[in-house]
């Protein structure tokens, strides 16, 4: 009989704080037991506790774990707790992996401490992230981040009028004000709608989240005529209503891996994306020689407006996507889905994959 093993997933936030990462972790908690019945999985999120209190909680509740995978342990948010986790794993001789999903230059010292002082192993969420941290001198394996897909392939819909959508957390790098400006400049007609689902950042304070909302509303209200066409929701619908949208926009100036454009594309909704490395990889992987049609220069709201106007008038991207949709869905399922993440996680913690 195969020996039972226990995996502990760790992230800063409880699953009730909806983010792309917490949605992915929720899927791991469901899928890993199906893939590996002898691998038990548990989840720990930080609370308002001290480092010593966290170590006592680990001793009391997780003394029997064989493998720990933390998400973005190297960021500055609650760093003292991530360091306490690394210290505890080192003391217990339990392998600890940091799944690096975001990396900026100011994270260098945190990664140096985790790897050099505590022997933490790095596993990157995407080729872009792996390249970024290897350029800094760190060794890395892979634990790919994936998009959440529906259990059944949905029926295709054709929106009755132009609907542009976007979903994400209220962090500056998502550039939601650019989306609002691009929508306004596109002048898509009286019936066109912009549907934004803007979630609290969970990283910055309420004042900074409110400032991001203010910037979006300021773009909408420039001429006093656009506000009625825009809906802003702060409670996410999971999954979003991609199939009822004409196009999905992701305007970020940085992403480690961008889930939502894959999700929208899988549902037959063309994603129009800022030209950053993860988005270019996606466009090239899925659309080949037509990749440029789905990209616009980062921060260029006028270029975004041109893309939105063209798509509203011609529907070229939607037609191109739908003609290729069976092949596109297979690529996403095989390379860019949360199933890929679950399989990689099982391999990592069963010892069949090496970082």
Q: Is there a single domain that holds both residue 261 and residue 345?
A: no
pLDDT at 354: 43
Q: Is there a single domain that holds both residue 80 and residue 124?
A: yes
Q: Which of 270, 268, 262 is nearest to 337 (CA)?
A: 262
Total domains in the chain come to: 2
| Residue 135 maps to a domain | yes
CA distances from 176 to 227, 246, 277 (A): 15, 18, 19
CA distances from 85 to 40, 79, 104, 269 (A): 20, 10, 22, 41
CATH of the domain at 37: 3.40.50.2300
Rounded mean pLDDT, 287-316: 97
As a whole number of angstroms, the distance between CA 134 and CA 94 comes to 24
Terminal Cα-to-Cα distance of the chain (whole angstroms): 27
What is the percentage of the chain residues whose pLDDT exceeds 90? Answer: 78
CATH of the domain at 292: 3.40.50.2000
3-state secondary structure the chain: CCCCEEEEEEECCCCCCCCHHHHHHHHHHHHHHHHCCCEEEEEEECCCCCHHHHHHHHHHHCCCCCEEEEECCCCCCCHHHHHHHHHHHHHHCCCEEEEECCCCHHHHHHHHHHHHHHCCEEEECCHHHHHHHHHCCCCCEECCCCECCCCCCCCCCCCCCCEEEEEEECCHHHCHHHHHHHHHHHCCCCCCEEEEEEECCCCCCHHHHHHHHHHHHHHHCCCCCCHHHEEEECCCCCCCCHHHCCEEEECCCCCCCCHHHHHHHHCCCCEEEECCHHHHHHHHHHHHHHHHHHEECCCCHHHHHHHHHHHHHHCHHHHHHHHHHHHHHHHHHHHCEHHHHHHHHHHHHCCCCCC
Rounded mean pLDDT, 301-326: 96
Q: Where residue 238 falls among pLDDT bands split at 50, 70, 90?
A: low
Q: Which of 5-19, 93-107, 216-230, 284-298 comes out lowest in average pLDDT?
A: 216-230
| Residue 125 maps to a domain | yes
Q: Is there a single domain that holds both residue 315 and residue 269?
A: yes
Q: Is there a single domain that holds both residue 213 and residue 112?
A: no
pLDDT at 355: 43
| Residue 208 maps to a domain | yes
pLDDT digits (tens, 9 = 90+) for 7-65: 999 999 999 887 888 889 999 999 999 999 999 999 999 999 999 999 999 999 999 99
Q: Residues 216, 222, 227, CA angle at the centre, nearest 5°?
A: 65
Q: Is there a single domain that holds both residue 122 and residue 171?
A: no
Q: Is there a single domain that holds both residue 230 and residue 176?
A: yes
Q: Is there a single domain that holds both residue 114 and residue 222?
A: no
Q: Is there a single domain that holds both residue 168 and residue 301?
A: yes
| Residue 153 maps to a domain | no
Q: Is there a single domain that holds both residue 133 and residue 77?
A: yes
| Residue 167 maps to a domain | yes
Partners of 40 in beta bridges: 6
Q: Which domain holds residue 129?
A: 5-146+337-349
Q: Is there a single domain that holds both residue 130 and residue 249?
A: no
Q: Is there a single domain that holds both residue 168 and residue 119?
A: no
| Residue 155 maps to a domain | no
Most confidently modeled range among 100-114, 150-164, 203-217 = 100-114
| Residue 158 maps to a domain | no
| Residue 157 maps to a domain | no
Q: Is there a single domain that holds both residue 17 and residue 121?
A: yes
Tokens 């480092």 belong to residue: 51
């Amino acid at each position: 009989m195969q020996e039972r093993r226990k995996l502990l997933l760790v992230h800063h936030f409880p699953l009730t704080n909806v983010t792309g990462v917490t949605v992915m972790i929720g899927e791991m908690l469901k899928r890993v037991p199906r893939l590996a019945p002898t691998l038990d999985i548990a989840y720990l999120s930080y609370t308002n506790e001290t480092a010593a209190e966290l170590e006592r909680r680990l001793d009391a509740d997780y003394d029997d774990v064989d493998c720990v995978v933390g998400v973005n342990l190297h960021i500055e948010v609650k760093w003292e707790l991530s360091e306490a986790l690394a210290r505890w794993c080192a003391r217990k001789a339990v392998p600890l992996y940091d799944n690096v999903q975001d990396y900026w230059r100011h994270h260098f010292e945190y990664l140096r401490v985790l790897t050099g002082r505590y022997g933490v192993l790095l596993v990157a969420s995407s080729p872009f992230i792996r390249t970024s941290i290897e350029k800094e001198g760190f060794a890395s394996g892979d634990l790919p981040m994936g998009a959440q897909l529906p259990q059944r392939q949905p029926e295709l819909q054709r929106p009755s009028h132009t609907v542009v959508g976007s979903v994400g957390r209220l962090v500056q790098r998502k550039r939601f004000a650019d989306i609002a400006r691009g929508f306004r400049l596109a002048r898509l007609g009286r019936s066109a709608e912009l549907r934004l689902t803007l979630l609290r950042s969970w990283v910055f304070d309420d004042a900074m989240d409110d400032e991001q909302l203010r910037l979006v509303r300021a773009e909408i209200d420039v001429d006093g005529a656009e506000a009625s066409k825009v809906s802003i929701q702060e409670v996410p619908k999971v999954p979003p209503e991609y199939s009822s949208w004409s196009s999905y926009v992701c305007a970020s100036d940085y992403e480690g891996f961008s889930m939502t454009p894959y999700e929208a594309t899988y549902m037959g909704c063309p994603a129009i994306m800022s030209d950053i490395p993860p988005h270019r990889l996606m466009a090239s992987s899925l659309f080949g020689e037509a990749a440029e049609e789905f990209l616009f220069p980062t921060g260029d709201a006028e270029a975004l407006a041109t893309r939105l106007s063209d798509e509203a008038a011609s529907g070229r991207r939607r037609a191109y996507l739908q003609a290729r949709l069976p092949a596109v869905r297979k690529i996403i399922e095989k390379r860019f889905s949360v199933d890929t993440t679950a399989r990689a996680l099982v391999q990592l913690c069963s010892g069949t994959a090496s970082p």
